Amino acid sequence: MRRKLFNIAAAVSLLLCVAVGVLRVRSETRQDVAEAWRIRREPDGAASAVWFEVSSGHHLWLQMSFARLGQQGDPNFDSYYHRADASGGRWGFVTLRRKHLRQLDEQWGGPGYEASGWGPLLWKSWTQSNPTVPFAQRNVNIGISHALVAGLLAILPTWCAIRFLIRWDRRRRRPGFCPSCGYDMCATPQRCPECGMVAEAARAAT
């Protein structure tokens, strides 16, 4: 059971690795976005929002926002209350495809936006507030290069493939197994029924 789960995890990692590669190619012409959010009423009457967005630009970006609106009366923020009432506090999810915006990385963490970075990683956090409402929002953006994500996802499938090749090599070297394909030749020692290889002893006899 453990080996089966390991193989399933390796297969999923491989599929995700391929998906990241596809996103990298698509990022040259378009922007893929997935958003999830929940806006709800709090017991004290305030409106709170949790927002997650994943998109593909020069990097794979994760944006997280956490907001709280204390009271109604400001037209700039009252949409929080309307959306909280309309959704009943349930989670929403949407995927979008837009024409590629080259300023995406600058908007979410590039030059001129005081982003921090280290190698293939970029990050940025900031707060927005309006004491008169009161309104407060905390934003965190993290950008990771496609190559780094794909490399991390490829570790498990690569390890699984190496283990398989080692086991296969050991098996084909065991007596009674075909040295070409590793198939069991105990019942047919003269010729491998899988790949058709003729045993050395049979060749010498002919």
In a domain, 165, yes or no: no
Mean pLDDT of 106-129: 69
In a domain, 47, yes or no: yes
In a domain, 19, yes or no: yes
In a domain, 161, yes or no: no
How large a percentage of the chain has pLDDT more than 70?
84
In terms of domains, do 27 and 113 share one?
yes
In terms of domains, do 204 and 123 share one?
no
Distance CA 81, CA 93 (A): 18
Mean pLDDT of 91-113: 63
Specify whether the CB–CB gap between 144 and 120 falls below 8 A. Answer: yes
In terms of domains, do 136 and 188 share one?
no
Count: domains in the chain: 2
In a domain, 167, yes or no: no
In terms of domains, do 191 and 130 share one?
no
In terms of domains, do 69 and 30 share one?
yes
State the pLDDT confidence band at 124, using cuts at 50, 70 and 90.
confident
In terms of domains, do 180 and 138 share one?
no
Average pLDDT, rounded, for the chain: 80
What pLDDT was estimated at residue 78?
83
In terms of domains, do 14 and 105 share one?
yes
pLDDT for 11 beyond 80:
yes
In terms of domains, do 122 and 181 share one?
no
In terms of domains, do 19 and 75 share one?
yes
In terms of domains, do 180 and 95 share one?
no
State the pLDDT confidence band at 101, using cuts at 50, 70 and 90.
low
In terms of domains, do 188 and 109 share one?
no
Q: Which domain holds residue 187?
A: 174-206
In a domain, 169, yes or no: no
In a domain, 60, yes or no: yes
In a domain, 156, yes or no: no
In terms of domains, do 130 and 180 share one?
no
